[in-house]
Chains A and B, each alone.
Chain A
């Protein structure tokens, strides 16, 4: 089981799917963020699996870079959540619709 590429890929796909499901089904902004992070990790897993498969170090480097980017994104994302929470006092991702055409027309 641990010997075949396919099982690692399958695991990664399952995690990716779970993350995607989290995005579309949860309204709580924190959960959405965590789902995004889960999807990043799933992709990392695929990279590393393929790196082992092809016996190359490059995907591992890429994976490190992805982790670094995820860190930067975390900082910005979370500070945005703070700002938005201060504005709207709510954690519902659905109410942030200012940029949509419908609301722009009203304002």
Chain B
């Protein structure tokens, strides 16, 4: 049962990814990306990380990609603005071939891990309680630093996107 769920989710993730890189229009790619992200969220849930499942949906699919879509529509992209991409397919195929050894290497490394069950764990793992405990116990400092980072990003985005002064 869990297997089937996993397979379906994996199918959507990979399909979304492929769609994302193959579509010419950024809008369609963004849609594919959302599909992929939500499927990934599902996989997170399968891995006993329910909180992260929700964070993924809220933050990634709900905020980041939304921001992306907002910018796409803000820039008013028409068909003519899109750049020419003649060698798309051939580069993808060549890159895929070149990536195979890398993948094989990583997978071989991971296949040496001893077998362990990956099924969903029960209490004490992955719930928001445990997550909060872990976050605010060991990872407080990074937590605060992240907030500063977000502030910097905010300021940077505002500065960049200002209207330019007309002094040439």
Contacts and interface: CB of A to CB of B under 8 A. Distances in A.
A9 B95 contact: no
Contacts of A65: 139, 142-143, 146
Interface class of chain A by DSSP: helix
Interface class of chain B by DSSP: helix
B119 to A, nearest CB: 6
B82 A91 contact: yes
Nearest to B56: A67
Contact of B43 (A19, A26, A37, A45): A45
Contact of A68 (B10, B107, B119, B146): B146
Contacts of B26: 28, 30-31
A75 B6 contact: no
A61 B36 CA distance: 22
A10 to B, nearest CB: 6
B99 A83 contact: no
Contacts of A53: 113, 116, 118
Given A3-B119, A82-B74, A83-B161, A57 B125 contact: yes
Nearest to A69: B149
B119 A13 contact: no
A98 interface: no
Contacts of B49: 48, 51-52, 60, 63
B83 interface: yes
Contacts of B71: 78, 81-82
Interface string A45-82: 10011011101011011011101111111111011111
A91 B74 CA distance: 14
Contact of A5 (B116, B134, B135): B116
Contact of A80 (B87, B160, B164): B160
Contacts of B75: 81-82, 85
A53 B7 CA distance: 19
Given A31-B20, A34-B30, A75-B67, A91 B81 contact: yes
14 contacts: A2-B5, A14-B17, A21-B99, A25-B87, A26-B85, A26-B88, A28-B85, A37-B60, A44-B40, A48-B47, A58-B138, A63-B49, A65-B143, A71-B63
